[in-house]
Amino acid sequence: MKIRAGYVSNSSSSSFCIVGVKCGELYFNADIELFRSKLEGVGFEKSDVDRMGLPELLINLYHCLFGKSYHNMFGDLEIVYGISEYNGDVIVGLDISRMRDDETLAQFKERVLSELQKIGYLGIARDMEIYIDGGMI
């Protein structure tokens, strides 16, 4: 049997398990102008970009800059949008498959927190949740 670790876009039969947070304007102190300029740099219209809030900016950056530019900007963070009951929510975090063998869940959450703080997350590790396949545990 073949197992695909991580989130696979455009596949209704794929699943994900991500440790992270729902992205909301109140929980982030991000450099939104930097995000806007990056999107304009890949061809988005300024008027469209100016109307976007942080969740929309992040999901568009994720889809447009996935690869070296994205990873330089956001490390290994993954962004999931519009899955089942999270429809409309943008979830930012790390796939559980990135948890190291010698790492506890608490340590993994601290590592996720460190990555989230690089893009302006203001919360704490305890605020993070595990999002699974459109459900939450």
Mean of the per-residue pLDDT values of the chain: 77
Whole-number CA gyration radius for the chain: 15
Q: Is pLDDT larger for residue 10 or for residue 86?
A: 86
At 4 the pLDDT is 45
Q: Are 55 and 90 in contact (CB under 8 A)?
A: yes
61-107: pLDDT as tens digits: 877 766 555 556 777 788 877 555 555 678 889 989 899 999 999 99
pLDDT tens string 27-45:
788 788 888 998 898 889 9
Read off the pTM: 0.72
For 125, list phi and psi in degrees, rounded to 5.
Answer: -60, -35
Would you state the pLDDT for residue 103?
95
Min mean pLDDT across 3-12, 50-59, 62-71, 123-132 is at: 3-12
Using CA atoms, how far residue 6 sits from 83, 87, 89, 98, in Å, is: 14, 19, 18, 9
